Amino acid sequence: MHRRRFITGVATLATAGLQAAPFHILSTRKVRGEVIGHGDFRYRVDRDWGVLGPGHPVKDCHEMVMDRRKRIFLLTNETRNNILIYDRSGKLLGSWGNQFPGGHGLTIHDEGGEEFLYITDHELGEVYKTTLDGRILLTIRHPKHIGAYGECDRFKPTETCIGPNGDIYVADGYGSQFILQYTARGEFIRKFGGDSFGEKYFKQAHGVTLDTRNTSDPVLMCTDRVKTCFKVFSLDGQYRYSIQTPGAYVSRAVFDGEYMYSGVCFSALKNHMLTYNAGFVTILDGKGKVVSNPGGTRPTYRHGELEPMVQAEPVFRHCHDVCVDEDKNLYVAQWNAGNTYPIRLVRV
């Protein structure tokens, strides 16, 4: 397939305090929150983690990633500080960014020993590759500019992931519901999916993540939020199968070892009515079985089928992402949660 190169650009963003802060030893303060979750995946709720003053506000806390130095990068659509950088205790190490009003997706990728961030902005309709301190290295613009979309097709990207060879996959989750594949240099390769009801199509291609649990056959774990499922595709866009999450309107998949985590932004009652302020976290094992729902109902299977899952405790509003640290603690970013900071779940 013919490949066309996308526009690249270089820009410098504010990096106040980024280089100055050393790694901070974890706080020893006692966490007194309630315990949620099921089976071996139970957590104590820490609502005080990462709470900052008015100098570092947030709107929606969309996604979080951790770098090799164990620093946690939070993406928010608050343009006074799009990126907040924490240590694991919740101490602020730095912040930067004031140009992503629709900052939504955040991916970190190691390229030959150097780490980079990939940011999607669904309001601007662009994807950016940046250094960890905010310098933009690559911009992927609306696919209409290279003929991959029509002039009137919507492009509102929500997520990225990076393939084993450096290819960039972009989920157009608020736009035309395609997964788009580019080379590491931003040259268009293909698109797959699109807006429809069939198995290989999406109704909201909200997330895309590289799943390398089978090292001989890495695949793409794609989120179809409206259809309450994850869809597995090959790296060249061939549909494989779906993992159903009935009742749970999931966000992107996050992998740690054999387990897969996802924030549930909404849950739906048995009448299938989507319910606001009804999020939780869901955890699946390597076979795609739900093993715990912190903040949600206990996962129950009847005759091999998963029963609908809903919020059980009002801990969360709209869980948008999960970050897992080396101690298996979780950090949960929330959308539309009253300008609140992420919640930490301490493994017990």
pLDDT mean over 337-344 = 98
- Which two structure tokens, joined as six digits, stand for 324? 């897992």
pLDDT tens digits along 118-165: 999 999 999 999 999 999 999 999 999 999 999 999 999 999 999 999
Q: State the total domains in the chain.
A: 1
Cβ neighbour number for residue 313 with a 10 Å cutoff = 13
pLDDT band at 273 (very low <50, low <70, confident <90, very high): confident
pLDDT mean over 260-273 = 86
- Which two structure tokens, joined as six digits, stand for 62? 């969309």
- Which two structure tokens, joined as six digits, stand for 176? 């035309």
Alpha-carbon gap, residue 267 to 310, rounded angstroms: 5
| Region of residue 226 (left: phi > 0; alpha: psi -120 to 50; beta: else) | alpha
pLDDT mean over 249-254 = 98
Alpha-carbon gap, residue 41 to 329, rounded angstroms: 10
Alpha-carbon gap, residue 97 to 240, rounded angstroms: 38
Half-sphere exposure of residue 29: CA atoms within 13 angstroms, side-chain side: 12
82 inside domain:
yes
Alpha-carbon gap, residue 121 to 143, rounded angstroms: 14
15 inside domain:
no
Inform me whether the pLDDT recorded for 22 exceeds 90: no
Inform me whether the pLDDT recorded for 102 exceeds 60: yes
Determine the 3-state secondary structure of 87 from DSSP: coil
Alpha-carbon gap, residue 27 to 256, rounded angstroms: 23
Whole-number pLDDT of residue 24 = 34
Whole-number pLDDT of residue 268 = 86
HEC string of 110-138 equals EECCEEEEEEEECCCCEEEEEECCCCEEE
pLDDT mean over 66-87 = 98
- Which two structure tokens, joined as six digits, stand for 16? 């106040």
Whole-number pLDDT of residue 272 = 66
- Flag the least confident range among 45-54, 81-90, 272-281: 272-281
The CATH number of the domain holding residue 328 is 2.120.10.30
- Flag the least confident range among 74-83, 237-246, 264-273, 337-346: 264-273
Q: Are 190 and 236 in contact (CB under 8 A)?
A: yes
Whole-number pLDDT of residue 8 = 37
Alpha-carbon gap, residue 209 to 159, rounded angstroms: 8
Q: Are 64 and 55 in contact (CB under 8 A)?
A: no
186 inside domain:
yes
Match 């009137």 to its residue by tokens: 152
Rounded to the nearest integer, the mean pLDDT of the chain is 92
pLDDT mean over 91-95 = 98
- Which two structure tokens, joined as six digits, stand for 125? 């309709």
pLDDT band at 1 (very low <50, low <70, confident <90, very high): very low
Alpha-carbon gap, residue 67 to 158, rounded angstroms: 21
C-alpha 238, offset from chain centre: 22
151 inside domain:
yes
Inform me whether the pLDDT recorded for 323 exceeds 70: yes
More confident residue, 29 or 194: 194
Alpha-carbon gap, residue 330 to 9, rounded angstroms: 35
Whole-number pLDDT of residue 30 = 66
Whole-number pLDDT of residue 103 = 98
Inform me whether the pLDDT recorded for 10 exceeds 80: no
pLDDT mean over 243-256 = 97
| Region of residue 308 (left: phi > 0; alpha: psi -120 to 50; beta: else) | beta
Determine the 3-state secondary structure of 144 from DSSP: helix
> In the chain, what is the straight-line distance between the N-terminal and C-terminal CA atoms, in Å?
51
Q: Domain range for residue 276?
A: 35-347
Inform me whether the pLDDT recorded for 3 exceeds 80: no
Determine the 3-state secondary structure of 143 from DSSP: helix
pLDDT tens digits along 188-230: 999 999 999 999 999 999 999 999 999 999 999 999 999 999 9
More confident residue, 57 or 21: 57
Nearest to 212 by CA among 149, 257, 271, 252: 257
- pTM for this predicted structure: 0.91
